[in-house]
Structure 1
Amino acid sequence: MAYVLQVDFTMNGPFGDVMAAEFSGLAHSINEEEGFMWKIWTESPETNLAGGIYIFKTKETAEKYLDMHTKRLAGFGITDVNAKILAINSKLTEITNSPVK
């Protein structure tokens, strides 16, 4: 069973193309995390929110990543992190065309 890690936090930018350019190295490093499958990057410049939807192979690897990521964000001065880890119902998810099997 795979798990979703949903994270968002307040951030004053960058967003859009600038965010993509500045966070490219971070994006590549996330690919190397244990149990990581994929991520959708999220942003709302209007409300100064950023974050993502991650898929991990196990709950334990999602929890380990969240712990590390929360500490990394704190190093940037971001301490108000909203996060949830949820199991994926694979049978229903497959019906709705998810790439997660």
Structure 2
Amino acid sequence: MSYLLQVDFPYQGSWGSEMSSAMRGLAESIAKEPGLIWKIWTENQATGEAGGIYLFEDLNSAETYLAMHIERLRGFGVPRVNGKVFEVNEPLSLIDRAPL
């Protein structure tokens, strides 16, 4: 069973390739998180939001990461973080070509 973590928050920083350059070190750090299978970085300049969709191999890893990430973002001055953890229905997701 795998678990999907959805996170979004207000963001007024850099976008696109500038974000890629600025966040490279953070991305490399996130890649080493226990239980992480993958992350998709999300950004919406029009609404001033950023975040990510993560796939974790177990619930504990997803919940532990979310708690740590909320604290990290608050340390960066982010006032509100939305985070939700979902169980992945793998049979249906595979039908729709999910990279599981």
Q: Deviations over 1:70-96 (max 9, x none)?
A: 010011111300111000000011111
* Number of equivalences: 100
Rounded to whole Å, the distance in 2 between the matches of 1:11 and 1:29 is: 20
Name stretches of at least 5 consecutive residues in structure 1 with no aligned partner: none
Alignment of 1:1-101 (within 5 A): 1-100=1-100
Question: How far is the alpha carbon of 1:51 from its aligned partner?
Answer: 0.2
Runs of 4+ residues over 2 Å off in structure 1: none
Question: How far is the alpha carbon of 1:97 from its aligned partner?
Answer: 1.0
Q: Deviations over 1:49-80 (max 9, x none)?
A: 00000000011100000011001001111130
Question: How far is the alpha carbon of 1:13 from its aligned partner?
Answer: 1.6
Percent of counterpart pairs with the same letter? 48
Q: Deviations over 1:23-66 (max 9, x none)?
A: 00111111110000001100011110000000000111000000
Rounded to whole Å, the distance in 1 between the matches of 2:89 and 2:79 is: 31
Partner-residue secondary structure (3-state), 2:47: coil
Name stretches of at least 5 consecutive residues in structure 2 with no aligned partner: none
> Aligned AA for 1:85?
V
Give the TM-score taking structure 2 as reference length.
0.97
Root-mean-square deviation over aligned CA pairs: 0.6
Rounded to whole Å, the distance in 1 between the matches of 2:31 and 2:51 is: 16
Give the TM-score taking structure 1 as reference length.
0.96
Rounded to whole Å, the distance in 2 between the matches of 1:34 and 1:77 is: 25
Partner-residue secondary structure (3-state), 1:64: helix
Check the 8 A contact 1:13/1:45 in 2, yes or no.
no
